[in-house]
Structure 1
Amino acid sequence: MNAKPTPGKADEALSETAAQALHEAATIAGVPAAGKTELIAGILREQILSGKLTPATVLPSERTLSAEYGVNRLTVQRAIAILRNEGLVQSIHGKGVFVRRAGDWPSRTHHRTITVDGDGNYVDSESTGGEWRDIEPPNKYNTNAEGPLALAFGVVEGTPFYASDRLLENDAGTRIFVRNYLPASIAKKLRSITRKPYVSARETFKAAKAAGMKLDFNDYVAARNPTPSDAHSLRIPDGIPMLITRRITTSNGEPILMQETRRSAEDTQLHYRPR
């Protein structure tokens, strides 16, 4: 009588992988179309971060992933785009999508976009999302423009401004500092803003729209060594630069608001989505 073959370790691993794939496909099948992109991205992300997909590994083709998870190729393309934006994979034309080395992965991605809410108002998505919470009370004060601020706005030094500061933190312990500068001349046209305890970008955009202003946005990114105060408040390790982003909002060429954000550059990337 022939003995029944005993499965080897390779067979067991293959069986486990196949079972996991079937489970994931069944899970995705029960998800509404709108959520399948995020779910597939999450599965692939876990495989990369856990080491199941090692650096320099080529991801399965779009056709293979589509068949494996029972979705169309557009859903797969969008899922891979999420991973690409997170720095986990790299597309090489004619060769495929490769897993990047762990040292190349930014652990933090800051999304810098201007969106429009249901009422048609502009929304700054970076610091107004649910991810962030104040760790100090917001602070509003009067200041006068020194050289860099005067140059950014195209005004003479000493021009009066309203400034507002926020120190924010998310659940991962990442901190950002946000400062908004509003010229006093603009504040006279948007009086509702100055009555608030904090001059926010969103409220300024809303008030400007109500006043008939047409808004335009320009972003600038720079890096510099943090001051001891910035290094302490933002928890920036020694030897790591600080990223500074400045978004200047104008109306017919006249600057009405500058939002300056500071953060550690360690393992950090900025994601800009064209409007």
Structure 2
Amino acid sequence: MSTKGATESTDGRVSLTEKVANDLRAQISSGRLAPASVLPSEGELARVHEVSLVTVRRAIAQLRSEGLVQTIKGQRAFVRRSGDWPSHTHPRTITVDGDGNYVDSESAGGEWHDIEPPSKYQTSADAPLALALGVPQGTAFYASDRILENDAGTRIFVRSYLPTVVAKSLPGLARRQYISARQTYKAAKAAGMKLDLNDYIHARPPAPGDARSLGIPEGFPMLVTRRIATHNGQPILIQETRRSAEDAQLHYRPRLGG
């Protein structure tokens, strides 16, 4: 059976779109495709990789979303100068596994690993957090802090907030030593909740503690991404990710399946 034209493999391996994008990305980073050079035509790429034109277009669109190539209407895509695109692209996705549970790309392993054990504690919403979530100031939360690192040595800090009232209403959560985002999503699904997810992003200077955690100078800007999962307007889980903003960008790619 021919796979030409498919964009996702059925056995969980890298998709055809990803394979084409990975090959072009490697050529760009190695200099084989130099800045300002024109990419091969869609037809040529389709023949070389034995894929459809649709797959090629999706691969080029992916590189464009990462800032690696640029397209001009009526012309072929060309490579942007290295100074025009960030050195660090951080993908942010929520996937759905085979059991229908949400899986967060940053908190479920993969590229990132803990460099120290997560800390768990109880806290209450200060004024900024209460305003962001639409809850009364002083609302009680379970919280956890994680410092994660990838193979390149880049660090991110992830803080999760789980309202105490939610933890007590979802069987088993409040009795755990550490409550992960995946555990919360799974418990919410088991309880019949349909979650609405929204991300909010802003940049600010890091506090001294943030600079130490991320391994960056205090003068560098920091990107803060807050993902809020709600059910019928009620906050279920809040995840705040902090990372260096130097030469970095976030890449959002919605996925409907694992």
Q: For the superposition of Structure 1 and Structure 2, which TM-score range results when normalised by the shorter chain? A: 0.7 to 0.9
* 1:231 counterpart = 2:233: no
Corresponding residue for residue 140 of structure 1 = 120
- Segments of 5+ residues of structure 2 without an aligned counterpart are 1-10
Using the alignment, how far apart are the partners of 1:34 and 1:142 within structure 2? 40
Query: Per-residue deviation at 1:70?
Result: 3.8
Using the alignment, how far apart are the partners of 2:48 and 2:103 within structure 1? 38
Corresponding residue for residue 226 of structure 2 = 246
Corresponding residue for residue 145 of structure 2 = 165
Corresponding residue for residue 156 of structure 1 = 136
Percent of counterpart pairs with the same letter? 68
Corresponding residue for residue 243 of structure 2 = 263
Query: Per-residue deviation at 1:140?
Result: 0.6
For residue 57 of structure 1, what is the amino acid of its counterpart?
A: S
Structure whose alpha-carbon radius of gyration is higher: 1
Using the alignment, how far apart are the partners of 2:130 and 2:82 within structure 1? 42
Corresponding residue for residue 183 of structure 1 = 163
Using the alignment, how far apart are the partners of 2:235 and 2:164 within structure 1? 12
The structure that is helix-richer by fraction is: 1
* 1:84 counterpart = 2:64: yes
Q: Deviations over 1:201-254 (max 9, x none)?
A: 111111111122221111100100001111121022453210000111111111
Using the alignment, how far apart are the partners of 1:256 and 1:69 within structure 2? 44
Work out whether residues 56 and 98 of structure 1, in 8 Å CA contact, stay in contact via their aligned partners in 2.
yes
Of the candidates 78, 88, 105, which is equivalent to residue 108 of structure 1? 88
Work out whether residues 156 and 214 of structure 2, in 8 Å CA contact, stay in contact via their aligned partners in 1.
yes
Q: What TM-score, normalized to structure 2?
A: 0.87
Q: What TM-score, normalized to structure 1?
A: 0.82
Report the 3-state secondary structure (helix = DSSP H, G, I; strand = E; otherwise coil) of the residue aligned with 1:217.
Answer: strand
Report the 3-state secondary structure (helix = DSSP H, G, I; strand = E; otherwise coil) of the residue aligned with 1:92.
Answer: coil
For residue 185 of structure 1, what is the amino acid of its counterpart?
A: V
Using the alignment, how far apart are the partners of 2:136 and 2:229 within structure 1? 18
Of the candidates 92, 102, 105, which is equivalent to residue 122 of structure 1? 102
CA spacing shift, 1:237–1:100, aligned 2, 3 Å: farther
Larger deviation, residues 240-249 vs 87-96: 87-96
For residue 244 of structure 1, what is the amino acid of its counterpart?
A: V
RMSD, matched Cα: 2.0
Query: Per-residue deviation at 1:47?
Result: 2.2
Work out whether residues 110 and 126 of structure 1, in 8 Å CA contact, stay in contact via their aligned partners in 2.
no
- Segments of 5+ residues of structure 1 without an aligned counterpart are 1-31
